[in-house]
Amino acid sequence: MDKDLPKRVVVKLGTSVLTCGSPKLDRSHMVELVRQMARLHQAGVEIILVTSGAIAAGREHLGFPTLADSMASKQMLAAVGQSQLIQVWEQLFNLYGLHVGQILLTRADLDDRERYLNARDTLQALLDHRIIPVINENDAVAIAEIKVGDNDNLSALAALLAQADSLLLLTDQQGLYSADPRNNPDAQLIPQVALIDDSLRALAGGSGSTLGTGGMATKLQAADVAMRAGIEVVVTSGQTEGVIERVCRGEALGTRFLPQGDALDSRKRWILAGPPPCGTLRLDPGAVKALCQSGSSLLAKGICAVEGDFIRGATLTLTDPAGGVIGRGISRYGSTDIARLLGAHSSDIESILGFSYGPAVIHRNDLVVL
Ligand code: GLU
């Protein structure tokens, strides 16, 4: 294998890329994208495809029916369209002697550690057999509460799940611009991003197209998660000739988001990909320093305040005294217990609570510093 090629890549194709802006799947463009992925696969790159377009495919297959603007209509279209979509992918990859395997996920599959590990094993088994995993959200059954909601964020979670080296978000724009290129002729393409901050988020604004769900804002959210897990992210246009191969070969196309630090281990990736935090611990400066500089566990004596109502095992946000987020971790104690332990020494936990789950409130293996 070419040593400069990434080993494992998640390619996310938005609805606007699959339809080329029309109301139908553009099969001639899809075959071109498959050709590139098949060539990379041939060169030894493991490809995972995150595909949108189920709802668009459903509308097309049913002949564009007039439907109520309801959740049930969308779920019906997704149920019809997803089977069409996966058939198209299977047929197109077959042209290159490859098979696809469909994985439909929801937020709930990723929040539960056991289900997350099952999904990870299935992905690995597909890759081991040289089958292309094709992932989408399980739109036909997922309701808002258990949805990731957009395939940008879903693809970042898939990249964490698969421990990919790169995530390629293909869309209908060349990348992230310094202003909205549709109404600002001076807008400049931003070629590289090392850190996503509020000013960059302000640039991204809301969703751009009418067919898909995402926009630059969800792409930034996805990039933020993936970068923190040590995964490189590229956002660029799916219409550029040879785009997937060219990006994988290192050509500077679109906006490249640099990975921050090394790849995280499996449990820490799940802390980022898994359930959203349901509480916050505010730490004192000493604890912030111990976590950020020495990789220590979080002890009760470094916690100044606890917010939220949560049980042991919950994922929490950790902040500095000013409220700035410094990390995320899984708590060994529930919120009522932590409230009684604020500032206490680890050796006093048993006498204060009458029991102990160990000296650390969050063990360093359960903690990701951001
Ligand atoms: N899962 C949706 C679909 O296949 C797309 C979501 C998105 O475009 O972000 O239609």
Phi-psi region of 55 (alpha: psi -120 to 50; beta: other; left: phi over 0): alpha
The verdict on 172 and 306 lying in the same domain is no
Confidence (pTM): 0.86
Q: Where does the pLDDT of residue 120 fall: very low under 50, low under 70, confident under 90, or very high at 90 and above?
A: very high
Q: What is the 3-state secondary structure (H, E, C) of 245-283?
A: HHHHCCCCCCEEECCCCCCCCHHHHHHHHCCCCCCEEEE
Is residue 1 one of the residues assigned to a domain? no
The verdict on 47 and 189 lying in the same domain is yes
Torsion sign, CA atoms 177, 181, 186, 189:
positive
Burial of 293 (0-12, 13-18, 19+ CB in 10 A): exposed
Torsion of CA 331, 335, 337, 340, to 10 degrees: 120
Instruction: DSSP for 272-333, please give it.
Output: HHSSPP--EEEE-HHHHHHHHHH-PPEEGGGEEEEES---TT-EEEEE-TTS-EEEEEE-SS
Kindly state the percentage of the chain with pLDDT values over 70: 96
Per-range mean pLDDT, top range of 142-146, 282-286, 292-296: 282-286
68 Cα to the center of ligand 1, angstroms: 19
Domain final residue pick, 235, 251, 269? 269
The reported pLDDT for the residue numbered 3 is 56
The reported pLDDT for the residue numbered 212 is 46
The verdict on 345 and 227 lying in the same domain is no
Q: Nearest CA to 328 among 258, 265, 274?
A: 274
C-alpha span between 323 and 113 (Å, rounded): 28
Domain that holds residue 317: 277-369
Instruction: Say how many domains are in the chain.
Output: 2
The verdict on 249 and 284 lying in the same domain is no
Q: Nearest CA to 51 among 75, 93, 18?
A: 18
38 Cα to the center of ligand 1, angstroms: 23
Kindly state the percentage of the chain with pLDDT values over 90: 77
Q: Where does the pLDDT of residue 298 fall: very low under 50, low under 70, confident under 90, or very high at 90 and above?
A: very high
Is residue 108 one of the residues assigned to a domain? yes
Is residue 164 one of the residues assigned to a domain? yes
Cα 260 to Cα 37, 233, 292, distances in angstroms:
26, 11, 14
The verdict on 252 and 287 lying in the same domain is no
- Nearest-atom number in ligand 1 for the CA of 152 is 9
Is 172 annotated among the ligand-binding residues? yes
The verdict on 84 and 135 lying in the same domain is yes
Q: Where does the pLDDT of residue 209 fall: very low under 50, low under 70, confident under 90, or very high at 90 and above?
A: very low
The verdict on 59 and 21 lying in the same domain is yes
322 Cα to the center of ligand 1, angstroms: 38
C-alpha span between 133 and 116 (Å, rounded): 16
The reported pLDDT for the residue numbered 214 is 56
Is 315 annotated among the ligand-binding residues? no
The verdict on 151 and 282 lying in the same domain is no
Is residue 62 one of the residues assigned to a domain? yes
151 Cα to the center of ligand 1, angstroms: 6
Is residue 18 one of the residues assigned to a domain? yes
C-alpha span between 310 and 316 (Å, rounded): 9
Domain final residue pick, 240, 269, 298? 269
pLDDT in tens, 224-234: 999 989 999 99
The reported pLDDT for the residue numbered 234 is 98
Is residue 100 one of the residues assigned to a domain? yes
The verdict on 255 and 316 lying in the same domain is no
The verdict on 40 and 139 lying in the same domain is yes
Average pLDDT over residues 132-161: 92
Is 336 annotated among the ligand-binding residues? no
For position 19, which CATH number holds? 3.40.1160.10
- Nearest-atom number in ligand 1 for the CA of 139 is 1
Mean confidence (pLDDT) of the chain: 92
The reported pLDDT for the residue numbered 1 is 60
The reported pLDDT for the residue numbered 275 is 86
Give residue ranges with CB within 6 A of ligand 1. 14-15, 52-55, 136-137, 139, 150-151, 212-214
Is 217 annotated among the ligand-binding residues? yes
Domain final residue pick, 238, 269, 300? 269
The verdict on 78 and 144 lying in the same domain is yes
pLDDT in tens, 73-112: 999 999 999 999 999 999 999 999 999 999 999 998 988 8
The verdict on 146 and 56 lying in the same domain is yes
Q: Of the residues 10, 12, 13, 15, which should be mutated to test ligand 1's pocket, given the most ligand atoms within 8 Å of the CB? A: 15
Is residue 95 one of the residues assigned to a domain? yes
- Helices 266-273, 113-128: axis angle to 10 degrees equals 120
Q: Let me know the angle formed at the C-alpha of 106 by 154 and 150, rounded to the nearest 5 degrees.
A: 35
Average pLDDT over residues 297-320: 96
For position 364, which CATH number holds? 2.30.130.10
222 Cα to the center of ligand 1, angstroms: 14
Is residue 258 one of the residues assigned to a domain? yes
